[in-house]
């Protein structure tokens, strides 16, 4: 039995023994301790709502290695010079001062999912009644990739966003940009398509004669097909060249080449968005057992891990039927917070949770489309199911939607971080 099997066996045993109700082992009405790992959209929101909805009764410690969160949402606008990196930074002051979240700027090295503790890089070991993991995404390195800055994904906003922006700015007119889209599930389904549209619009005026080749590993545009088709094959047809079913087998960083099932392709700038998987802690803790070992299966009534009941997994790292994106991660966090508040009070989770996704996509530098869907819990399949009548996109794009996008971003970030 190797280490992972050992962990899984121990967790399976724990899962069998531990009921949802804590009162067998806890005094009624007592507070509880919750550790939240990761201060992104999901982690920040769950920390805030745990404090708010327990009326300060739960002790919540948020562990995040960075001093501030840098938003992925809106980060493609850094590539076109329309947004600064500082406009994407969200600190944790409000969580601390307004909501009483304890913040530790530290890194979690190890999670003990059975006993409920985490080991920090600083050497400290923290105990908790519940641990919420929200470590986001990890990006695969493709064969031949040694220096991620050569072909940045810029799919986790930060240094790679700035690198890609610089590479685009330095490219000659008449150059070729490659943008790759991995197979689903990946973070933010419309994201790569909206980035392609935005960059194409920018290339038209800033780098005349340039081309943007989109290499999509999926059989078709995965979401908002009407709008993106009209944009790719109409509005931006003189810039965008779209290829479906393209898988990248390896890369050559020196020659700036991608080797694919459709042949070799050269790019002056390559935005390589690779396949994605749950944050490292998820796999290391033995929780990544869904989606070919990439994501953590959870009970969507509470986001409790199916193999380690003391641990909850929210946001991009969890395997659910919902898209991996910030807006829905925020709602998953609220369901998890509500379920934990109930748990510590001896109540079962809400039996019929609802989540929603809503977002805007840049089609040009001044116009946007929108996309929305509501998910209802289906007790038969124990999954969140999209309500068909609610699943819809705007008919086309316009400037009002672009203004709404800014409004939406402001509201969403405030609901998560302030």
Partner 1 sequence: MQCKRFVLSGAAALLPFLLATAAQAQTTQVPAGRLLASNCFQCHGTNGKGPGFERIAGKSSLEIYKELKEMRAGGEGQGLMTKHALGYTDAQLRELSQWLSTQR
Q: Which residues are near partner 1 by CB under 8 A?
A: 21, 23, 28-29, 49, 52-53, 57, 327, 330-331, 334-335, 338, 341-342, 344-348, 350, 353-356, 358, 370, 372-376, 387, 389-392, 394-395, 404, 407-408, 410-412, 414-415, 418
Cα dihedral: 48, 317, 137, 334 (round 10):
-20
CB closer to partner 1, 175 vs 345: 345
Half-sphere exposure in the Cβ direction for 143 (13 Å, CA): 6
Beta bridge partners of 362: 368
> Least Å distance between CB 220 and partner 1?
22
Tell me the two tokens of residue 370.
């929108």
CB closer to partner 1, 227 vs 260: 227
CB closer to partner 1, 118 vs 413: 413
CB closer to partner 1, 42 vs 265: 42
- Cβ(362)–Cβ(77) under 8 Å? yes
Residues 147, 89: Cα–Cα separation, whole Å? 25
CB closer to partner 1, 210 vs 330: 330
377: left (phi over 0), alpha (psi -120 to 50) or beta: beta
CB closer to partner 1, 52 vs 159: 52
CB closer to partner 1, 53 vs 259: 53
> Least Å distance between CB 239 and partner 1?
28
Tell me the two tokens of residue 339.
């379920």
Half-sphere exposure in the Cβ direction for 273 (13 Å, CA): 31
DSSP 10: H
Tell me the two tokens of residue 340.
């934990």
> Least Å distance between CB 14 and partner 1?
23
Quickly tell me which residue has 């990946």 as its tokens.
186
> Least Å distance between CB 401 and partner 1?
9
> Least Å distance between CB 225 and partner 1?
16
Q: Read out DSSP for 359-385?
A: EEEESSSS-EEEEEEEEEEETTTTEEE
CB closer to partner 1, 17 vs 389: 389
Please count the residues of the chain: 418
> Least Å distance between CB 66 and partner 1?
23
> Least Å distance between CB 353 and partner 1?
7
CB closer to partner 1, 238 vs 407: 407
- Cβ(53)–Cβ(347) under 8 Å? no
- Cβ(312)–Cβ(340) under 8 Å? yes
> Least Å distance between CB 178 and partner 1?
33
> Least Å distance between CB 340 and partner 1?
11
- Cβ(1)–Cβ(9) under 8 Å? yes
Q: Read out DSSP for 13-79?
A: HHHHH--S--TTTS-TT---EEEEE--SHHHHHHHHHHHHHTTT-SEEEEEESSSEEE-STTTHHHH
> Least Å distance between CB 92 and partner 1?
16
Cis peptide before 396 (omega within 30 of 0): no
* Strands, sheet with 117-120, edge to edge from the N-terminal-most edge strand: 108-112, 117-120, 125-127
CB closer to partner 1, 169 vs 347: 347
């Amino acid at each position: 039995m190797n280490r992972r099997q050992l962990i899984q066996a121990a967790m399976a045993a724990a899962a069998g023994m531990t009921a949802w109700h804590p009162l067998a082992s806890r005094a009624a009405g007592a507070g509880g301790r919750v550790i939240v790992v990761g201060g992104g959209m999901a982690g920040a929101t769950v920390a805030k709502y745990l404090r708010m909805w327990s009326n300060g009764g739960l002790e919540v410690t948020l562990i995040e290695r960075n001093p501030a969160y840098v938003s992925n949402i809106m980060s493609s606008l850094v590539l076109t010079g329309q947004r600064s990196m500082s406009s994407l930074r969200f600190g944790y002051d409000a969580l601390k001062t307004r909501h009483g979240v304890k913040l530790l700027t530290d890194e979690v090295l190890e999670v003990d999912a059975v006993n409920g503790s985490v080991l920090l890089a600083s050497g400290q070991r923290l105990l908790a009644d519940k641990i919420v993991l929200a470590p986001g995404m990890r990006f695969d390195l493709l064969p031949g990739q040694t220096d991620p800055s050569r072909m940045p994904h810029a799919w986790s906003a930060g240094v790679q966003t700035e690198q890609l922006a610089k590479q685009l700015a330095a490219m000659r007119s008449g150059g070729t940009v490659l943008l790759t889209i991995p197979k689903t599930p990946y973070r933010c389904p419309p994201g790569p398509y909206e980035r392609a549209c935005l960059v194409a619009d920018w290339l038209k005026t800033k780098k005349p004669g340039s081309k943007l080749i989109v290499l999509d590993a999926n059989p078709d545009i995965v979401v908002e097909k009407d709008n993106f088709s009209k944009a790719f094959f109409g509005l931006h047809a003189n810039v965008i060249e779209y290829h479906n079913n393209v898988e990248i087998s390896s890369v050559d960083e020196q020659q700036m080449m991608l080797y694919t099932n459709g042949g070799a392709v050269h790019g002056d700038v390559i935005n390589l968005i690779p396949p994605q998987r749950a944050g490292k802690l998820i796999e290391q803790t033995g929780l990544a057992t869904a989606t070919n070992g990439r994501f953590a299966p959870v009970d969507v009534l509470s986001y409790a891990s199916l193999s380690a009941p003391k641990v909850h997994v929210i946001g991009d790292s969890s395997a659910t039927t919902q898209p991996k994106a910030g807006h829905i991660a925020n709602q998953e966090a609220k369901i998890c917070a509500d379920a934990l508040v109930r748990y510590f009070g001896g109540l079962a989770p809400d039996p019929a949770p609802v989540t929603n996704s809503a977002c805007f996509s840049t089609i040009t530098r001044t116009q946007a489309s929108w996309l929305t869907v509501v998910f209802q819990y289906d007790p038969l399949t124990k999954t969140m199911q999209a309500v068909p009548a609610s699943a819809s996109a705007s008919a086309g794009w316009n400037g009002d939607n672009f203004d709404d996008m800014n409004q939406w971003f402001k509201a969403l970030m405030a609901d998560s971080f302030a």
